Amino acid sequence: MVRHLICWFTCLIALTVISCDSQTTDDILQSIQQGFNEYHQTRVRPVYLDESLQKFQLPHFFRRQEHGLNRSLYENPVICDLCSVVVNFVIEERRMGMSDINIKGELQAICSLLNIETPRVCEGTIDSNADIILYIADNNPDLNPAKFCDLMLQDNQCNFTNIEWTIGVPEGQSPLRPKPVESATTFKVLHVTDFHVDPMYTPNKVKTCNEPLCCQSDQEDGSGQNSCGYWAEYGNDVSETLVDEFIRFANTFEDVDFVYFTGDIVPHRMWSTTQESNAAIIDKFLRKLKAGFSVPVFPTLGNHEATPLNQYVLNSSIPSNLSTKWLFDLIEEEWSEWLPQSAMQTIAKGGFYTFSPIEGWLLQDDEDPFDQLAWLIEVLLEAEENNESVHILGHIPTGSVDIIKVWSREYNRIINRFANTITGQFTGHVHVDTFQVRYNISNPNQAINVEWNGASIVPYDKANPSFKIYSIDKETFNVIDIDQWTFNLTQANENSELSPDWYKIYSFREAFNVPTLLPEDIGKLLINMAEDHNLLGEYHLYRFKNSDPGTGDGCDEICQKNYLCELSTSVYGDTSMCEYLKECRGDKTWKMWEKIYFFVIAAILAITHAGAQEAGLVEKLQLGFEELKLTRTFPSYLNETLRQLAVPHFFRRSDPIAVGFVNEQTYGDKAICSICYAAANFLIFERRNNVPLEVIALEAAAVCVLLGIEDAEVCTGVIDLNLPIFAYLVDADESLQGERICDVILQKSGCNQTTFEWSIDIPEGKTVPRKNPSNPESTFNILQISDFHYDPLYMQGKTKACTRPVCCQSDQEDGDASEGTACGYWSEYNNVDASEALVDESIRKANEFDFEYVYFTGDIVTHRVWSTSVENNTRDMKLIFRKMKSAFSGKPIYPILGNHEPTPLNEFAIGDDVDAALNTDWLYQLIISEFSTWLPKSAKQEIKRGGYYSVSPREGFRIIALNSNVAYTMNWWLIHNDTDPFGQLTWLAQTLKEAEERGEIVHILSHIPSGKADLLQVWSREYHRIIERFSNTIAAQFNGHTHKDQFMVYHSSANVSEAINIAINGASVICDKSNPSFKIINVDHENFDVIDTQEWTFNLTEANLAEDAIPDWYKLYSFRESFGTRSLAHEEFSELLPKMAANHNLLDDYHKFRYRNSDVAMESGCDNSCKKNYLCEIATSQVGDSTQCDILSKIFDQNV
């Protein structure tokens, strides 16, 4: 209803944002409400009410809401609360009998106190609008102030009530229609809009005044630069002379066949409109058009034609002074010259019509409801049946904040249904040259229609006067090209004795270099504009028609992002494409978005940051998913909820220095799991209801970007890689529920509605007695090297301060050496992988040592996880393997796979019937071919089965290499089948039994340590059972993955103080807050116990300063010397761990060794909380078992 009356109410709302200290907002709101209540009771306006209102000065606050699409949105809920308070006051006063005159007087007082407008503007606007508000209040005893505010303040996110309705859109899709050919025959349509003819415009009056409209005959005279020009002025309406000039120049285009006029004749002098004055202006203007054009004109109504402004109402019971019948009667008569009698019926009903001017072509006006959408469906169905193409004319763009959200959504459903029938939409209202791309509900990356805006003759929004000439294909009725014509208003006013110098500012196809103006090419244009900001600069110039004030200030990044949203938002509240485009950074192809559940479920994890008090966000998120199911449109509140749950870079593994091992055992939060279940089930619903994967992907992409998980390119790449797996999982299991997905992925968040329970058969008996060591001591060495994460794109001088998961990339920005952001020669400490120079140097230095075997414990591939491929991963692995084989001169290398080796990251396919495009066979075959020299035939068969194997390099000694990555909770294939994947644990138990019977001692290689909380808990438990059963057969285990120099101790379940096994981590070549390193493992010749380990490293900071000079490697420590043990035999750790808990100096040493004495780690230090976390890290070998952590923490606390 009455926009300009409610402004006096809602102005109170914005006041909290404009000038209130947030700490006093509630107090002032309470004071205002108290003042209104006291006024009710005493009938005397309290002084403190006026004082409270005066604190909120809002000069010209609502003028900017008349200036196009980009309104400021007030997110403060006080806005909506205060609106309800004020509207309720007016309704209650009316019900208590306050007269029309007194209510108008109160509203005028509020207007003056807030300094919204001058007294005469306040008085005139209130006087013309109040009668409607009072009529509504008088005739609706149950009028809800909250609903009133929801309608009026839609763009302020008021949602007290649920304004919801739908229309019945026929099923099906309009048939595909022919596309225009390059040599198509065309006709011409002239599109003109928004004249805002001002009969009071007077040259030489003041052009900068204190009212919404200047240059008026009843205002002051201007002088010099503040004097109104002959034709018009920027920020004001147009003279009748300019109307005449337009008609004169437009008639020079002799080949124009039709004219589209998309509304707004009446000026912005809304404080003094009447039915009589508006009718006179409209009549005079339309007579000029009729006289000036010999071709048909197809007009629509603008929001300014009614009086009061915006008010369209038709009801036989409404008094004639409030009804819009006078306007419909007027245009029925005025438009009859251009339109057939059949069109007059709907014009009289609500100002809309349909008409076919030539065979196969249908035109219609689409303005105000009056059952208009149902009528629209009928017309489009008939057009579809008759094989007609449709052009839709309407005044207000349907994605504008001026359109009620539900109407905008339902209109979009109609356009989607008839997208192939509708070959163009044409609008006005915003006064700038723009367009909106409409996207397919079922495939949001597909542009299906375009709304072309006619810009305006009026320069009210700082733009030059202009109109458009469309070339239309005679066969398909598609728009072929657009020419925009304008003149410079400043220059024209300086030479008022001459006609303005009109010129063609652009041809759309030439200006934006598009092959056609079909929706698919305009959709691609938006992607190009997001990537090439020069195109947005051009758009800025054309938008304001190259005006002096419009283009003078340029367009910064915020402005350009707003433009992307303006162009891509065709449904009010749906910002999904807007958010995507704002995040675009140079991705030259429109890729689809991947790991749907991965990113949507991320929303859940964010709840942990919000706490229990954010339960309302959980409910809003669930509601948003349900609405998305029904409407296929992202509700704006869902987007806002996701933003509030922002989790920047959530899925990057975090290891903050001085925090140490974050106790990753399971913890519960019902909110986390309940939202995950809702999100996952939503995505399953989408897949099972045949929603295209591209659509599901785009929905996930929007969530990814809104949550700040990564930027658009990273999200896009990862999603593109993982999407086929999601589809396979859902398609392969008709019973799959979201609960199972979440209970795998969010195991460590306590999601447990699914029971993951299985066990393997472990041979009965107890572990054999331990073998004695050699006497005298006799040892040999093994090189353990791990986690290269080789980066073929590493480039010295690039920035190390990027926002991507990995920096120093050749396709990223340059760093600044003076600011310390330039990447060094070798690598960098944070978010950077290893250069080829660092890989070569690490292998060179390691080869100086005497060793018999090499244990490579996984991860060659880079963290550039958004662009991996079988080809790239194979190339990089072959390169590193070739370097190691060449340098180590035939010494056996025993590799295991890291979680980064497959593509996509983490995904090891489980199942015998997995599609070739999804399985991991290529990776297993690569390992076999690269290391066949050292692997027996039996090992090759085992690798084919699941990437694990066993080999005996010497008598009495066996190496078992496992693929623990398969139990990583980020391996989505566990959702498909989690029971002992590949039968690997059963095989392990059997292999250890055979080794035990042969008297062999075993070393186990495994990438991910078994105590890491992101291993499937039941898998970790069963693995621990195997280790305990064969603890004396297993001399030691060797891990990677964490990039830290660590060790992990296994304890007996029967005797918690007894250490029964040890796992040694190889640290890493990659830095990750540490210095690069490798280990020399000293092993006993007889029982193959680890006797000692030596860690070799160099200082990365110093090495980068010396650039390509050989780094100064040094031995960081010997384990035996530093921790005072006789060896690294199991029993040594029964004493060492309690000793470390009591002697905190040992934990300081552990911190130093863990990060290999890196500058960043040593500067940070390690406090008591950090040290206790380290104890838990060392003692936790089974996921979910905190027994040892609790024991050692107690000892630690006793020795603080």
Domain boundaries, the chain: 3-156, 186-554+564-575, 596-749, 779-794+833-1198
pLDDT at 691: 84
Question: Please, which residues have CB within 8 angstroms of residue 943's CB and are 6 or more apart in sequence?
Answer: 924, 927, 928, 935, 949
Residue 917, pLDDT score: 87
Check: CB of residue 1087 under 8 Å from CB of residue 770.
Answer: yes
Chain centroid to CA 261: 38
Instruction: Write down how long the chain is.
Output: 1200
Of 454, 456, 457, 482, which Cα lies nearest the Cα of 469? Answer: 482
Tens of pLDDT along 121-174?
888 888 888 888 788 878 877 777 777 776 776 666 676 667 788 888 898 888
Q: What is the dihedral of CA 237, 240, 242, 247, to 10 degrees?
A: 130
Q: What is the pLDDT of residue 62?
A: 65
Could you give the angle at which helices 937-946 and 921-931 cross, rounded to 10 degrees?
160
Query: Three-state SS across 328-371?
Result: HHHHHHHHHHCCCHHHHHHHHHHCCCEEEEECCEEEEECCCCCC
CB 298 within 8 A of CB 392: no
Composition of the chain by helix, strand, coil, percent to 5: 45, 15, 45
- Alpha-carbon dihedral 850, 851, 857, 859, rounded to 10 degrees: 40
Taking each helix axis as running N to C, give the angle between helix 615-631 and helix 636-644, from 0 to 180 degrees, rounded to the nearest 10.
140
CA distance 459 to 233: 7
Q: What is the pLDDT of residue 435?
A: 96
Please report the pLDDT score of residue 671 as a whole number: 67
Q: How confident is the model at residue 85 (pLDDT cuts 50, 70, 90)?
A: confident
Query: What is the tens place of the pLDDT at every residue in 680-735?
Result: 888 898 899 888 888 888 877 777 777 677 888 888 889 889 989 989 999 999 99
Q: Is there a contact between 1181 and 1049 (Cβ–Cβ < 8 Å)? A: yes
- Quote the CA–CA distance of 378 and 371 in Å, as a whole number: 11
Q: Which of the 8 DSSP states describes residue 228?
A: -
Neighbours of 520 (CB within 10 A): 14
* Residue 584 CB partners (closer than 8 Å, separation 6+): 527, 530, 531, 712, 713
For 454, half-sphere exposure in the C-beta direction (CA atoms, 13 angstrom radius) is 32
CB 35 within 8 A of CB 46: yes
In angstroms, rounded to a whole number, what is the distance separating the alpha carbons of residues 43 and 40?
6
Helix (H) or strand (E) holding 72: none
The pLDDT-based confidence of 670 (bands split at 50, 70, 90) is low
Residue showing tokens 């694990």? 948
CA-CA-CA-CA torsion for 472, 476, 479, 481, nearest 10 degrees? -70
Q: Domain 186-554+564-575 is in which class?
A: alpha beta
Task: List all residues 6 or more positions away from 285 whose beta carbon is below 8 Å from its beta carbon.
Answer: 195, 197, 243, 265
Task: Provide the percentage of residues in the chain whose pLDDT is more than 70.
Answer: 86
What stretches of 482-614 show up as alpha helix (H) in DSSP? Answer: 489-494, 508-512, 519-531, 533-543, 548-552, 557-568, 576-583, 596-600, 602-605, 607-610
- Whether 158 and 149 have beta carbons less than 8 Å apart is answered as yes
Burial class (CB in 10 A: 0-12, 13-18, 19+), 76: middle
At residue 636, the pLDDT reads 66
Overall average pLDDT of the 60-68 stretch? 51
Q: Is-above-0.75 flag for pTM?
A: no
Of 108-112, 504-508, 929-933, which gets the smallest average pLDDT? 108-112
DSSP state of 501: -
Identify whether the C-beta of residue 1077 lies closer than 8 Å to the C-beta of residue 1094.
no
CA distances from 814 to 531, 588, 809, 811 (A): 19, 20, 9, 9
Q: Above pLDDT 90, what percent of the chain?
A: 58
Instruction: Kindly tell me if the per-residue pLDDT of 120 is higher than 70.
Output: yes
Paired residues of 447 in beta bridges: 439
Sign of the CA dihedral with 1154 first, then 1159, 1160, and 1164 last: positive
Q: What is the pLDDT of residue 125?
A: 86
Give the C-alpha separation, 44 to 93, whole Å.
12
Q: Is the pLDDT of residue 467 over 80?
A: yes
**Rounded to an integer, what distance in angstroms lies between the CA atom of residue 187 and that of residue 1079?**
78
Q: Cβ distance 820 to 835 under 8 Å?
A: no
Q: Are 80 and 158 in contact (CB under 8 A)?
A: yes
DSSP assignments along 22-50, one per residue: TTTHHHHHHHHHHHHHHHHHHSS--HHHH
Instruction: Quick: pLDDT tens for 957-969.
Output: 999 999 999 999 9
Helix, strand, or coil here: 767? coil
Least confident of 301-315, 345-359, 744-758, 1071-1085: 345-359
Q: What is the mean pLDDT of the chain?
A: 85
Residue 449 DSSP one-character state: E
579 and 706 Cβ atoms separated by less than 8 Å: yes
Q: Which residues of 1043-1062 are buried (b: 16+ CB within 10 A; e: fewer)?
A: bbbbbbbbbeeeeeeebbbb
Evaluate whether 535 touches 564 at the Cβ level (below 8 Å). no
Q: In what order do the strands lie in the sheet with 893-895?
A: 893-895, 853-856, 779-785, 1077-1084, 1090-1097, 1114-1118
pLDDT of res. 73: 32
Please identify, in words, the CATH class of the domain defined by 779-794+833-1198: alpha beta
Contact indicator for 49, 36 with CB cutoff of 8 Å: yes
| Residue 671 or residue 389, greater confidence | 389
Mean pLDDT (whole number) for 1158-1171: 95
What is the rounded CA–CA span in Å between residue 644 and residue 639? 9
- Cα-flanking dihedrals φ and ψ of residue 468, to 5°? -125, 150
Q: Pull the structure tokens for residue 800.
A: 């190390």
- Nearest by Cα to 666 from 1169, 963, 1015, 966: 1015
Q: Pull the structure tokens for residue 120.
A: 């005469």
The model's pLDDT over 1013-1065, given as tens digits with 9 standing for 90+, comes to 889 999 999 999 999 999 999 999 999 999 999 999 999 999 999 999 999 99
CB atoms within 10 A of CB 336: 13
Question: Do the first three CATH levels of 186-554+564-575 and 779-794+833-1198 match, i.e. the same topology?
Answer: yes
Cα 1173 to Cα 654, 1132, 1182, 1196: the distances in Å are 14, 21, 16, 11
Coil, helix or strand for 403?
A: coil
Instruction: Confirm if 865 and 794 have CB atoms less than 8 A apart.
Output: no
Specify the DSSP class assigned to residue 1065: E
